[in-house]
Chains A and B, each alone.
Chain A
């Protein structure tokens, strides 16, 4: 069964709206989650590392005030795209760290397709 639940799977909203995406770890406690952005026909771009109980670590070039990350519990991280504009339209994917290199280091959610009109 699914290890990571991401919600919503698809959202369409007007420009200027703030959108919240949830990422839940279903099977284990996750101190670290990752947020990725994927443009059509491109690879995943790591946006930030979400750490439970502390501030997220953002990759270079990612606006922290634009993409707010909250990791308030061991099973939930949220990404809020604030005042979204059409250029923010993309596929956003979260992952949960298993901290187990012998298996796989991350389990991925099914992604959220965000379309800003």
Chain B
């Protein structure tokens, strides 16, 4: 079945550092890929998405490119802020039943 493997955390960074969170997936078809962010005590918010190979999703300085050849969707941000401290989830949807398969989540803490 479909699955998502995500870099384990926690990740602790200093403000303005470069952030990368690795995500790879296994799927039989051509899924859509997502990054969600969860702030403490809250639900999930969509951060960015990509629906086909070579698409680049971007939002709030975060980027991720759908790489079919490496089945990856790594999340990057060039200069993180304290407000980026959150848990980040990589997810995929295979377009059949609207379900999402989530990675384990990566906790990111940015220190001032």
Residues of A near any B CB (own CB < 8 A)? 4, 6, 32, 34, 41-44, 46, 49, 93, 95, 97-99, 101-106, 108-111, 113
Q: Which one, B16-24, B70-78, B99-107, is touching chain A?
A: B99-107
**In contact, B46 and A46 (Cβ under 8 angstroms):** no
- Decide yes or no whether B41 CB sits under 8 A from chain A: yes
> From residue B37, how far is it (CB to closest CB) to chain A in Å?
11
List, in ascending order, chain B residues with CB within 8 A of A104's CB.
34, 46, 49
**In contact, B89 and A108 (Cβ under 8 angstroms):** no
**In contact, B105 and A101 (Cβ under 8 angstroms):** no
How many residue pairs between the two chains, A and B, have CB atoms under 8 Å in the bound complex?
A: 53
Q: How many residues of B contact A (CB 8 A)?
A: 23
- Decide yes or no whether B27 CB sits under 8 A from chain A: no
**In contact, B98 and A6 (Cβ under 8 angstroms):** no
List, in ascending order, chain A residues with CB within 8 A of B95's CB.
101
List, in ascending order, chain B residues with CB within 8 A of A95's CB.
44
When A108-B44, A110-B43 are in contact, do A44 and B102 touch as well, CB less than 8 Å? Answer: yes
- CA separation between A109 and B107, bound complex, in Å? 20
**In contact, A105 and B102 (Cβ under 8 angstroms):** no
* Residues of B76-112 whose CB lies within 8 A of A: 89, 93, 95, 97-100, 102-105, 107
Question: Quick one: closest A residue to B90, CB to CB?
Answer: A43
Question: Quick one: closest A residue to B93, CB to CB?
Answer: A105
Q: Please name 14 further chain A to chain B contacts, defined as beta carbons within 8 Å, in addition to the given A42-B105, A101-B93, sorted by A numbering.
A: A6-B43, A34-B99, A41-B105, A46-B99, A49-B97, A49-B99, A93-B44, A101-B51, A104-B34, A104-B46, A105-B100, A108-B36, A110-B42, A113-B41
